[in-house]
Amino acid sequence: MMRSTDKQTKAYNFKTRDIKVLKKLLPYLLKMRVRVILATLFLIAAKLANVAVPVVLKEIVDSLDQTNLLLILPLGLLFAYGTLRLASSLFNEFRDAIFARVRYHAMHLIALGVFKHLHTLDLSFHLDRRIGGITRDIDRGTQSVSTLLSIFVFNIIPSFFEICLVIGILWLNYDFFFASISLLTVIFYVGFTLAITTWRMKYRYQMNDMQSEANTNAVDSLINYETVKYFNQEDFEVNRYDEIMIRWENFATKSFTSMTTLNFVQGAIIAVGVTIILISASQGVVNKSLSLGDMIMIQALLLQLFIPLGSLGIVYRQIKHNFIDMNNMFDLLDRQPNVSSSKEAPKIKISQGKVEFKHISFAYEGKDKVLKDVSFVIDPGQKVAIVGQSGSGKSTLAKLLFRFYDVINGQILIDGQDIKTLDHRSVQSVIGVVPQDTVMFNESIYYNIAYGRQGASQCEVEKVAKLSFIDTFIDKLPEGYDTLVGERGLKLSGGEKQRLAIARVLLKTPPILIFDEATSALDSYSERMVQKSLKELSRKHTILVIAHRLSTIVDSDKIIVLGDGQVQESGTHAQLLEFNGEYAKLWRLQVNEKSDEI
């Protein structure tokens, strides 16, 4: 993860970031406000019943402590005691059952919102971030939503309400001394808990960083399993993971051991407070200013006061940890895409499929210009190829047309419409792309082809498979179209993946097609067959081909040669050879390379 622990620690401020998180969480709770209100009412009822138990217990003890009178079993009080115990448990269960839907619905909505938002972010964001770290942030963030809601509804609010009730009863029924000692104990407990826990938070930040880094590297290493094997880097990957986990272990150990200090301080404060109150209560019994029932009631109230208070330290630590995790997740939601369109932006209207690049200039962030005043036209039904040395800007043109990025200067027009002013999703819907690095879902072959258009029939899927010359290969497989392709399509060869990608984009049936080195992994026979298919497609589609192997684009209606971010030459294959410029040099170089291979 690309973040600094020191910066996080300094930037973290309860009054700003935590409140910001709570404000973002509130709308999700308001969607189910009725359940929240009902759960709160049951919570109050449960605590009232719970606090009433010591009061009834006092009356039971006092009624039994009658040495000079006929002893009568106080059945009414005993039944009341049992009823209150049952009511407290029943109301708590009602609260839990009603609030369960609130908690899980909030998790569902937030996870869905983050997932949806990640798909709206531009390509540059996904190139800068690692998937392992992002998924870890989302997982920890959504779990933190559930934990935080549970803590507030099942711990914080009940504990606060119960503390107020207990101190109020002690104040009203007994000497102010009991209430004041109880209140001071609570204040000291909470104060020391906040102070020590805040000091310990730096270790949690460092643990999170190490855990995210370890998870990210592990995912990255496993995704690149073949590369690791090719270069015999298993030991390097294991050692790198081990080094990170050693640092994580050190921070985790410091976090845990520092907790012992907090536990001791908390225990000491409670012990002192309870001892002082019990000594005073015992003295009151001896002086006959208090009954035995009063002492038992005070002791029971103190138990109800300090039992929830005893878990308050753990709860506070969980809250702080959850706020950290949720901040990371909500930071993803705060990230705005560089490429977007307003809600009022019109959708694209396709009449012919004419594409125009007018004086295009573009530079990636922090780098020099890749394209400098590039202009050319692709007429409807034409197949136009872009060639040039690596880094000349060929693939950048395809990304700009698809609106992965927006141009700095100039315009890209489709049927006379500036795509920068249009709804970007509608622009992307009319363009099909077969990328050089073809990635497949870890699903069946049928799923990966049918992904091109939701609701496509099996007949349509098999038709595009035939057009891309992958049908014969599929028919030979034992499971046919149900064959799983593996993680990122690792079970398929490069050529097989590219033909599946071609079949998938053909199923989308877009008027504009982009082939970015899409035939680079095909054998000679498959390449000729796909070229034949593309020639047929070019009658119905406007096609832009990004090519390195010039043999694949000799039949193009126009070939544009890029160099140093500018158009150096333009024409048909024959015209460019006759011109004897840069294209002719590239052609002769590749022909010689092929002759050497033969």
Upper half-sphere CA count for residue 508 (Cβ side, 13 Å): 22
CB 398 within 8 A of CB 433: yes
> From CA 200, how far away is CA 436, in angstroms rounded?
49
pLDDT score for 358: 92
pLDDT score for 136: 72
Torsion (CA) 301, 307, 308, 309 in degrees, nearest 10: 90
DSSP string, 454-488: TT--HHHHHHHHHHTT-HHHHHHSTTGGG-B--GG
CB 412 within 8 A of CB 419: yes
> From CA 530, how far away is CA 514, in angstroms rounded?
14
Cβ atoms within 10 Å of 463's Cβ, excluding its own? 16
How is residue 233 written in tokens?
């880097």
Quote the strand ranges of 5-86, DSSP E. none
CA distances from 415 to 8, 68, 163 (A): 49, 106, 71
Residues 6 or more apart from 429 whose CB is under 8 A from it? 348, 510
Secondary-structure percent of the chain, ordered helix, strand, coil, rounded to 5: 65, 10, 25
Residues 6 or more apart from 248 whose CB is under 8 A from it? 207, 210, 211, 214
Ranges in the chain, pLDDT < 70: 1-18, 62-74, 122-133, 310-313, 317, 518-527, 529-539, 592-598
CB 299 within 8 A of CB 281: yes
pLDDT score for 413: 92
Tell how strand 417-418 and strand 409-414 pair up: antiparallel
How is residue 21 written in tokens?
């998180």
Identify the burial level of 171 via C-beta atoms within 10 angstroms of its C-beta, where 0-12 means exposed, 13-18 middle and 19 or more buried: middle
How is residue 88 written in tokens?
């407290």
Which strands sit side by side in the sheet containing 409-414, from one edge to the other?
A: 369-378, 355-363, 409-414, 417-418
* ∠ Cα 500 538 549 (to 5°): 65
How is residue 34 written in tokens?
């009725």
In the chain, the domains with their CATH numbers are 16-334 (1.20.1560.10), 354-430+512-523+539-598 (3.40.50.300), 438-509 (3.40.50.300)
Closest CA relative to residue 507, chosen from 549, 553, 547, 459: 459
What is the 8-class DSSP label of residue 562? E
How is residue 561 written in tokens?
């040669």
Contacts 24+ apart (CB under 8 A), 174-177: 174/290, 174/294, 174/298, 175/280, 177/280
Closest CA relative to residue 370, chosen from 382, 381, 361, 378: 361
